[in-house]
Every structure is written in structure tokens, then in C-alpha cells.
Structure 1
């Protein structure tokens, strides 16, 4: 039994069925099939490697519905005008709705019983099962029911809101805007044809001074459109992905002393959260699902499987969550760095996790040169081709060409 049809819950069901088709797996989801919060999710080649090894069928669909972003831009609109700095690298993104659609179809194809509109108000009403997988998010009702998990919840300082825009970005863009009330910024990346994800963040003081704490959803979006008019090139912002409008939130950092109790186990955001500035939440949830399914296959006893999963994944997540906390704290004090020029500011952003190589600063300075960025993109194109061929993607050459043309 799995509660929650997000990426973690659906992909666990897929992974477990692939390892033993005899498993009877039911996934309960409170929302209707078409409902999802947010816009896009980001990932990198390492996740595609995992997906292709685990289930090539769904991996091909994920890959086909993804878009490529190349390089990262840091744009600073301050008193001295607009300045831009650059990072290298590339990644993939896709709409959250498309990802859930791919996983739901694959799960049903494998014989998983996915039930939507099923609210779990009382855990005692759940059918008996050998295993209960809590994939019901950061505010997990199942997790709250058991003090034994040793849950700790820390709430971030900065308010943020997850929006969409019809401004299509080719890069991952960080745009910082100085207002009379203070700095406000967004993190944006392409997520589906014609639409980009746009996560707006600011300090609590700026949020209140701009009146965003008092404005309704539509009025707030209009204010943000005006604030980011230059960065959005006059394009619109959307606060409704599917269903209710997006609301301002404070990030919830979830940790647990253990990820299982009895025959109940946590996966995805129910077990751990990582700040959106790290961009790893979906990737980590999917890997949780694979590791849990693998542990269940390798161990005859459920308790042994859950112990192995808990030990393995919590150890892996510790440094990731530490980096995410550091990233969140850096953005909570970002005004301490915004008096610098864009290149120096971007370098401070790039080393916010620590542990950089001695030549990182020199590479960062070189990346500001257009010819160097062109060379890095050419190298990245070759790397994508090699990795795609290695994992057995079909039509590798045409796919890489199509991504390169974006």
C-alpha cells in the first residue's frame, strides 16, 4: 500500500512491480488525476542513467518530454543598471504534470491499482498491507501519526512562490531586482513548450514592504509582473498551474531520525526535503523509490529490507541536506553580497556550498568570455551524445541535434 501518487510513490510502485510482478500494489492519491502543484522540475544526466537502468520504458518517455537548458545566467538589475554573469553546465527540465502522467500510465500498465480522489483522514481505515509506503509529501499525515520517526521541521525565513511565465528561457536564469523596498529575485528555467517555471523569492522585510503579504493572488502577480518587467521582457506570469492559485510559502526543511517504523516507511519529501535552490527534490525522491524496491527484493524479511534502505539512503542524504540548508541560508542573507559586481556576486553564489577546487575562481572568470562559453557548450554537447549512447537512448544523434537547436 502506497499513500501519495507523486514521483516517489508512483516510481516505487513501478520499481517494485518490475522486480516482482506478483506484488499487489495500491497507490492512493487524494487529488484527481489532472491535479498537481507547481510547474516544472529539473534534473541531470545522472538521473537519466538511473531511470534507464531501472525502467527503460518510462525513461524514454521522460526523456522525450524533457527540454534542455544550457548555461546559467545571473542577472543583477540594480542602481548601476543591468549586469550579467554566467555559469557553465546544462540540465533538463519537464513539467511536473507530464512527469506524473508518464509515471501513472506506466504504473497502471504494470498492474498497479492507482486510485485518485482518495482522502486518507484516518489511518485506521486503510486496508491491511504487508507494507505501508508514506509518499504523502513534506506534510505527511502518516509521518505525523508516528512520533517514532523523530521528525524535525525547520521553516525557512524567506517567502517564495512557485509561478509560471510565457517568457521562454533557454538558460537557467537567476534574476535579482532592486526595488525601493529591497531586493527580490526569481529562479527560472524552461519546463514545457512555451512555458517556463519562475520561482520568486525575497526577504520577509521586502515581502511586507511591497505589500505582497496583503495582496490577493491576482494582484500580487500583477505587482511581480511590473517588478520584473525588464527580466521578463514584458511577458506574463501565471499563478495557476492546475486548480487553485499558488500561494506564498516558507520552505519546510524536514529531517527524520529514522525513515521506518514497523511496516511503515517514508520516501521522498515525507522522509526529507531539500531547498529548491539545490534543484534535487524530484531526483532524490525517484532514487528513494529505486533503492527501497531493490532492498525489498534482496531481503526476505520486510524489516531487514527497511533497515537496509534506511541505513543506505539516510547516509547518502546527510551531505545533500547539509548543502541544501547552506544554500537556503545563503539566499536568506543574499543582500550581504549584492553590493558587488555581477561576476563577483555570481562567484559568491557558486561557492555557497563550500568545497570548491583551487582553480574554481579562474574557471569562473574564463566562463565570462563568450568564446569560452561556446567551447564549453560544444564539449557538453559531445558529453550528452556519449552519455545518451551509453545508456541506450534511441535516435541519439537526432535527439542531441534537436536539443542543441533549442
Structure 2
């Protein structure tokens, strides 16, 4: 089969790897419009579940990614001069440059052709059995056929900017700072010894009140460095480096499509769907798309059936993730509802921001219910763990006493 992957991001590269592993005779080319290595800086996050999937499908790639990643198992929130820490599941971070370097190297080693500085236009698609549109949220291939795909976008209310810093965070870090124009906050996570990603967000009113809407990039970054000086420990912030230019403030666009394929053209990754950055799932979902598409192509010889199976599987898998992302984004858009709570309560509800119930209950009531449910579940786990041991002890004592 001849395959053309348009876009050299994680989805297209990993798909090419999986297809070559299944059948080395596949003729696969990845087309990327930007120069090699020019992707924007910063890191991406993922969780153990993704790593397990990668090990199952290609241990070589999985080991390289795991060895290049950092880990954390705590969250830290800085609010009104107080710091709250909570233990949690182990998270992983890896530099985006390094991730793409690993995937590109593995693809090349398997015989995939990588063509950089080669832009594919919608009116002149490559001659191939399958064309994979992995060219991101602004996909020109999807846009060309937007009516067919049924593309819809919904813009969030808050403003955000994606920055980097030389400060290496040892935990997933949140910092909320009150200004004369409202609250502004950052999410920070390490991706290697060289630094961390730092996403900064605020309401539109705060953005304009602070003058960030009219400040040039250098002045805006300098202001943010002063606002978050406490958490940055004197380290600078830096805009995104790469072919797309410097940092800019955006509103998040949640993108969905009614269908993900048209004839021999199929969407993957951000070209097919987006989920709010606050749940840190974008790269994971892109790689899972590649896994599902490779599996469907292997199981179904006829392309229409394979693409239909891929779309059905991934849409179903995305339902819970998209719901979590929706409620997470809303939590931050309604930050004043939570920010005045005691720090430990506020941080606990930050961890529960994916809940569809939280917006409809008073926060303190939800917190008490959640704690009570957690205590009940802890007792159940203790019972399951100790029950057999207690039963054996009672039985042994009964036998010893002759009863």
C-alpha cells in the first residue's frame, strides 16, 4: 500500500512506524512543510497508560521515549502566598523536539521517507492509496473539505499563552496570582533538565486590564515574569521558538468533525479533534489515533471499511475525554467560584474539575461529598485486602480451640 502522511507530527510519524512494522513493503512518505527540527519548543505530557500502549506496539520507540522523559507524582498549587501539595498518579513529560526526533529516527530506520520543507496543497494531493491529514488544528486538507467533514469549532472565553522557562519544576505546578484586574494563573511542568513548559491563562478582562492585549511580546513576557516571580525563582520566561514565530495570546478552539474520512483521505490528531490543554491529552490522543488507524488497516483489507472502523473506535474512545476537557475548561473560566475557598479545598476541587456534577453543586458541599465517598471507597479497599486474612485468622483460632 502506498501511504502519504501530510504533517510530521506525532500522529503521522507513529502511524508510519506501525504500518512499516506490520508490513515492510508499504511505501510510506511523511510530508512536512517546515524544516526538520523547527517545531516549537516546550514539552508535552502523558501518563503511564500511553507508555504501556507504546510498549505493546513498538518497544524500541517506547523505551527511547521513556528514557528521555521526566516524571513527577505530585501536584503543587500556590494560592495567596500559601502552598498546597497533593500526591497523585505519576505523570511524564518529554520535550516536543526530542519526541519528534525519536519518532523521525525510528521511522527512517524502518524505511519511511521523510520530506521536510514540502507543503502539500489540497488541490494537488499526493498520488497514494491513503492520504493521512495530520497537519494540525489548522489543517488545510480538512479546511478544503470542511462541508464534507462537518467541521465545527467552539472558542473558549479565556486567553492563554504557551511559554517556556529554564526553571525545572519538580512537580506539576499551578500558581494563581491576584492582580488589580483579576486573577491570572500558570500551569508549569518539567520536560527535561533544560527547562519546563509554562502555560499562562486569564480571563479576557484581566488580559486587557493588564495591557497584555497591546503589549509587544518582550514587554508582555517581562510583565508575566514579574507577576510569577515567586514560582519562577528568578528564571526567565521565553516565547515559542520555531517556524511559527513567537508567542501569542489565543483563545482555545475546541474542534470536532462529523466524519473523519473522505474517499482515501483520513484525519488524525488535532486535524480531527482537539481537547483543552488543561487535561494534557493532545499528544496521547494523536498517538492513540495512529494505533487505532494502523490496527483498522491491518484488520480490514477494504479501505472504506478500515476507515469507518477507525472513526467509530476513536469517536467512542473520545467521548469521556472530550467531556472531561469541556468541564476542565469551564472550571478555569469560572475560577472566581473556587478561588476564595480554603487552599486545601480549592486544590481538591481543582483535581475534580473534570466532574460533570461539580458545576451544579455548591463547592463546599461537593468537597464534603467527595471526601465522604473517598473514605467509603478506602474502607472497601481495606475490607477487600484484609477480609481474607481476617477470615483465615478466625478460622485458625476456631480450629485451635476445637470449635
Q: Shorter-chain-normalised TM-score: which range?
A: 0.7 to 0.9
Out of 82-91 and 310-319, give the one that drifted further.
82-91
Distance in structure 1 (CA, Å) of the matches to 2:73 and 2:199: 18
Q: Offset at 1:20?
A: 1.1
Residue 69 of structure 1 contacts residue 92 of structure 1 at CA under 8 Å; is this kept in 2?
yes
Out of 206-215 and 241-250, give the one that drifted further.
241-250
Residue 302 of structure 2 corresponds to which residue in structure 1?
301
Q: Secondary structure at the match of 2:12?
A: helix
Residue 117 of structure 1 corresponds to which residue in structure 2?
117
Change (3 A) 1:358 1:345: closer
Q: Offset at 1:87?
A: 4.4
Residue 128 of structure 1 corresponds to which residue in structure 2?
127
Distance in structure 1 (CA, Å) of the matches to 2:78 and 2:133: 40
Residue 165 of structure 1 contacts residue 236 of structure 1 at CA under 8 Å; is this kept in 2?
yes
Q: Offset at 1:362?
A: 5.7
Residue deviations 1:101-142 (CA, integer Å, cap 9, x gap): 00001111111111111122x323232111110100011111
Residue 261 of structure 1 corresponds to which residue in structure 2?
262
Change (3 A) 1:247 1:211: same
Q: Offset at 1:348?
A: 1.9
Q: Offset at 1:360?
A: 4.3
Residue 180 of structure 2 corresponds to which residue in structure 1?
180
Q: Secondary structure at the match of 1:157?
A: coil
Residue 20 of structure 2 corresponds to which residue in structure 1?
17
Residue 242 of structure 2 corresponds to which residue in structure 1?
242
TM-score, normalised on structure 2? Answer: 0.86
Residue 3 of structure 1 contacts residue 134 of structure 1 at CA under 8 Å; is this kept in 2?
yes
Residue 75 of structure 1 contacts residue 83 of structure 1 at CA under 8 Å; is this kept in 2?
yes
- Structure 1 consecutive aligned stretches of length 4 or more whose deviation exceeds 6 Å: 355-359
Q: Offset at 1:19?
A: 1.0
Distance in structure 1 (CA, Å) of the matches to 2:56 and 2:15: 14
- What is the number of equivalent residue pairs in this alignment? 361
Q: Offset at 1:83?
A: 4.0
Distance in structure 2 (CA, Å) of the matches to 1:309 and 1:358: 42
Distance in structure 2 (CA, Å) of the matches to 1:282 and 1:131: 22
Residue 38 of structure 2 corresponds to which residue in structure 1?
35
Change (3 A) 1:10 1:316: same
Higher relative contact order (CA 8 A, sep 6+): 1
Residue 87 of structure 1 contacts residue 364 of structure 1 at CA under 8 Å; is this kept in 2?
no
Residues 24-63 of structure 1 mapped to structure 2, 5 A cutoff: 24-63=27-66
Q: Offset at 1:336?
A: 1.9
* 2:151 corresponds to 1:141: no
Residue 76 of structure 2 contacts residue 83 of structure 2 at CA under 8 Å; is this kept in 1?
no
TM-score, normalised on structure 1? Answer: 0.86
Residue 311 of structure 2 corresponds to which residue in structure 1?
310
Q: Secondary structure at the match of 2:156?
A: strand
Unpaired stretches in structure 2, ≥5 consecutive residues: 358-366, 376-403
Out of 171-180 and 355-364, give the one that drifted further.
355-364
Q: Offset at 1:218?
A: 1.0
Residue 100 of structure 2 corresponds to which residue in structure 1?
100
* 2:11 corresponds to 1:8: yes
Residues 325-344 of structure 1 mapped to structure 2, 5 A cutoff: 325-344=326-345
Distance in structure 2 (CA, Å) of the matches to 1:116 and 1:42: 25
